[in-house]
Amino acid sequence: MNESGELFQRARALIPGGVNSPVRAFGAVGGTPLFFREGRGSRLIDVEGREYIDLVGSWGPLILGHAHPDVVEAVTAAARCGTSFGAPTRAEVELAEEIVGRMPSVEMVRLVSSGTEAAMSAARLARGFTGRDRTIKFAGCYHGHFDAFLIQAGSGALTFGVPSSPGVPAAVASTTFLAAYNDLGGVEELFERHGSEIASVIVEPVAGNMGTVPPAAGFLEGLREVTARYGAILIFDEVMTGFRVARGGAQERYGVMPDLTVMGKVVGGGLPLGAFGGRAEILRQLAPEGPVYQAGTLSGNPLATAAGLATLRALGGDGVYQDLEAKGERLQAGLERAVSSSGVTGVVQRVGSMMTLFFAEGPIRSMESLRSLDPSVYARFFHAMLRRGVYLPPSQYEAFFVSLAHSSGDIDRIAQAAAEALAEI
Ligand code: KE4
C-alpha cells in the first residue's frame, strides 16, 4: 500500500470517510484519495513526491497558484505579530475597502470564516430585513451546508445523490422553495403563489456546483426584475465567481446588480475567509448596528485577511483578467480538440477561467440536462488523467479552475493528456 493509502486508512479510523469534506474522498470517481504535502504554482506534490498539474486549485481560492510569494510573505509577516486578537485590525478595514472597491453592488461588507457562513448569514439578514421567512434556491446550486440550503444542493450532495440531507428539520426544509436553474417561468410561478412570504432568491450567477452552467440570456436580469417587483432580496452567491470571472465578479461580467453578495474562496487567498455584503441599508440591520445577529470568533482573522489582501492586490495588475480569459480559452480549445478527435460525446462549458467537461450532449442548462449523464465516464477520465499527472476535481459536478500560474505549456500538456485519456476510456 502506498503512503496515501496508509494515511487514508489511519484517517478513516478517526475522521468520517477519512476526510474533512466529503467530495475529497473520491467517492464519485472511486479509488483512494491522494494525500498532498505541497503545492507550488500550478503544481501539487503528493506525499510520495509525485507531481501533478492541478486544476482543482483548492476548489477555487488559488487563482494565483499555490504558495504565491506575495501571499506566503503576507501571511508569514502577519503570523509573526500574532494569529488572532478578537479585536478590530487595520487589515479588516483594508480588505473591506478592496472588496467594496471591486464588487459594484457592495456598499458594506461583513467578513466571516467560510462561504457557508457567509451564505447562511446573508439568508438570515434577508429574512430580518424583509420580515419574511422563505427562500428560493435552484436545484444543482450549492450555497454551503446550511440546513435551509441542503435541499437538492449541488456539489457534494448532488455527487452522492443525496438531494436533501438527513438531519435537516422538515420545518426548515419547508422554508425553501426549489426552482430549476435558467427557468424564469418557475420563479415567476413561485412568486405568484407565495410572493408575500419570500425573503430572498439565492443563485449562483454562474452555476459551478452541477458543473459549470452559465446563466441563459435574460435569466439574471429576470431574477433582478421579479425580486424587485415583489420586494424580495436578490442574493448572488459569488463564492466561486467572485474576483474570478471578472474583477468585480459575475455582477460586473453580466451587469446585473444583486442586493446582497456572498463571497469566499479567492477573497481569502486559500485561508478560511468568507464575506457577505451589499446595499448599506440592508447591512446596517446587522448587529451591533441593527437587530439581526451574526458573529464569529475568528471573523476577519489577521492571517486570512493578509492572504486575501495579498491575493486581491496581485489580481489588481493590468491585463490580469485578460490573461485568465486567454488561459481559459486555450484550455477549452485544447479539451474540445481532444473530445472531437476521440469521438466521445462531450461538451466543454466555460466562463472565464472556470469550466467543466461534461460527458453528455450540450448545452447543459440545468440539472435536468444532467439526468441521463453517466458519471462513470468522468470517473474513468479522471483516473486516466491522474495517471498522466493531471489532477482534476474528483467529481463530474465541479469546475476546473485555471490560475495565473498555469503556463501555456501546462495547458497544452493537459490537452495532450486529455486526448490520450479520451482514447483510452
Ligand atoms: P465553503 O463553506 O465550502 O467555504 O463555501 C460553500 C460554498 C458556497 N457557495 C458556493 C457557490 C460554493 O461553491 C461553495 C463551496 N464549493 C465547494 C465545491 N464546489 C467546496 C468544496 C467542498 O465542499 O469541499
CATH of the domain at 198: 3.40.640.10
User: Do 87 and 57 share a domain, yes or no?
Assistant: no
Residue nearest to atom 20 of ligand 1 (CA): 59
Q: Is 247 helix (H, G, I), strand (E, B) or coil?
A: coil
User: Do 15 and 161 share a domain, yes or no?
Assistant: no
User: Do 125 and 57 share a domain, yes or no?
Assistant: no
Q: Is the CB of 143 under 6 A from ligand 1?
A: yes
User: Do 27 and 79 share a domain, yes or no?
Assistant: no
pLDDT at 153: 52
CA of 193 to the centre of ligand 1 (A): 31
CA of 274 to the centre of ligand 1 (A): 10
pLDDT by residue (tens digit) across 81-130? 999 999 999 999 999 999 999 999 999 999 999 999 999 999 999 999 99
Q: Considering only CA atoms, which of 226, 184, 209, 235 is closest in space to residue 364? A: 209
Q: How far is CA 332 from the centre of its chain?
A: 19
CA of 143 to the centre of ligand 1 (A): 7
Give the HSE-up count for residue 30: Cα atoms under 13 Å, Cβ half-sphere: 10
Least confident segment among 27-36, 103-112, 170-179, 342-351? 170-179
pLDDT at 163: 45
User: Do 123 and 44 share a domain, yes or no?
Assistant: no
Concatenated DSSP letters of 42-76: TEEEETTS-EEEESSGGGTT-TT-BT-HHHHHHHH
Q: Considering only CA atoms, which of 344, 275, 271 is closest in space to residue 311? A: 271
Residue ending a domain, among 256, 283, 314, is: 314
pLDDT at 151: 84
CATH of the domain at 405: 3.90.1150.10
pLDDT at 27: 96
Q: Is the CB of 396 under 6 A from ligand 1?
A: no
Question: Crossing angle for the helix pair 408-424 and 375-387, nearest 10 degrees?
Answer: 120
> Catalytic residue positions?
142, 237, 265
User: Do 160 and 267 share a domain, yes or no?
Assistant: yes
Q: Is the CB of 119 under 6 A from ligand 1?
A: yes
State the Cα–Cα distance between residues 171 and 175, nearest whole angstrom. 7
- Mutate which of 244, 265, 299 for ligand 1? The one with the most ligand atoms within 8 Å of its CB, which is 265
What is the atom index within ligand 1 of the atom nearest the CA of 21?
Answer: 24
- What is the mean pLDDT of the segment spanning 350-366? 97
Counting the structural domains of the chain, the total is: 2
User: Do 300 and 324 share a domain, yes or no?
Assistant: no
Integer CA distances (angstroms), 71 to 62, 65, 74, 82, in order: 10, 10, 5, 17
pLDDT at 175: 87
Q: b vs e for 271-307, b when ≥16 Cβ sit within 10 Å of the residue's Cβ?
A: bbbbbbbbbeebbeebeeeeebebebebbbbbbbbbb
Q: Are strands 43-46 and 36-40 parallel, antiparallel or unpaired?
A: antiparallel
pLDDT for 372 beyond 80: yes
pLDDT at 170: 80
Residue 90, amino acid: R
Q: Is 139 helix (H, G, I), strand (E, B) or coil?
A: coil
Which pLDDT band holds residue 168 (cuts at 50, 70, 90)? confident
- What is the mean pLDDT of the segment spanning 389-416? 98
Q: Which residues contact 290 (CB under 8 A, 6 or more apart)?
A: 128, 284
pLDDT for 148 beyond 80: yes
The residues pairing with 275 across neighbouring beta strands, listed in sequence order, are 111, 263
What residue has cell string 480549445?
Answer: 333
What is the atom index within ligand 1 of the atom nearest the CA of 144?
Answer: 6
User: Do 298 and 375 share a domain, yes or no?
Assistant: no
User: Do 154 and 281 share a domain, yes or no?
Assistant: yes
pLDDT at 155: 52
Question: Crossing angle for the helix pair 302-314 and 69-80, nearest 10 degrees?
Answer: 150
Grid cell at residue 419: 486526448
Grid cell at residue 16: 468520517
Q: Is the CB of 244 under 6 A from ligand 1?
A: no
Q: Is the CB of 236 under 6 A from ligand 1?
A: no
pLDDT at 343: 93
Residue length of the chain: 425
416 is in which domain, residue-wise?
A: 3-63+318-424
CA of 68 to the centre of ligand 1 (A): 22
Residue ending a domain, among 253, 282, 314, is: 314
Q: Is the CB of 267 under 6 A from ligand 1?
A: no
Report yes or no: 264 and 115 within 8 Å, Cβ to Cβ.
Answer: yes
Q: Which residues contact 110 (CB under 8 A, 6 or more apart)?
A: 121, 275, 276, 277, 283, 286, 294, 299
pTM: 0.97
State the Cα–Cα distance between residues 290 and 285, nearest whole angstrom. 4
pLDDT at 173: 83
pLDDT for 61 beyond 90: yes
State the Cα–Cα distance between residues 121 and 116, nearest whole angstrom. 8
Which pLDDT band holds residue 43 (cuts at 50, 70, 90)? very high
> What's the whole-number average pLDDT of the chain?
95
Q: Which residues contact 205 (CB under 8 A, 6 or more apart)?
A: 215, 220, 236, 237, 238, 241, 249, 250, 251, 254, 256, 258
pLDDT by residue (tens digit) across 240-281? 999 999 999 999 999 999 999 999 999 999 999 999 999 999
Q: Is the CB of 237 under 6 A from ligand 1?
A: yes
Residue ending a domain, among 297, 314, 331, is: 314
pLDDT for 316 beyond 50: yes
State the Cα–Cα distance between residues 3 and 169, nearest whole angstrom. 40
- What is the mean pLDDT of the segment spanning 287-303? 98
User: Do 176 and 30 share a domain, yes or no?
Assistant: no
CA of 142 to the centre of ligand 1 (A): 7
pLDDT by residue (tens digit) across 175-223? 899 999 999 999 999 999 999 999 999 999 999 999 999 999 999 999 9
Q: Which residues contact 368 (CB under 8 A, 6 or more apart)?
A: 180
Triad 87, 244, 211: Cα angle to 5°: 115
User: Do 175 and 99 share a domain, yes or no?
Assistant: yes
User: Do 21 and 37 share a domain, yes or no?
Assistant: yes
State the Cα–Cα distance between residues 219 and 214, nearest whole angstrom. 10
- Mutate which of 15, 26, 116, 251 for ligand 1? The one with the most ligand atoms within 8 Å of its CB, which is 116
pLDDT for 164 beyond 80: no
What is the atom index within ligand 1 of the atom nearest the CA of 114?
Answer: 4
CA of 400 to the centre of ligand 1 (A): 14
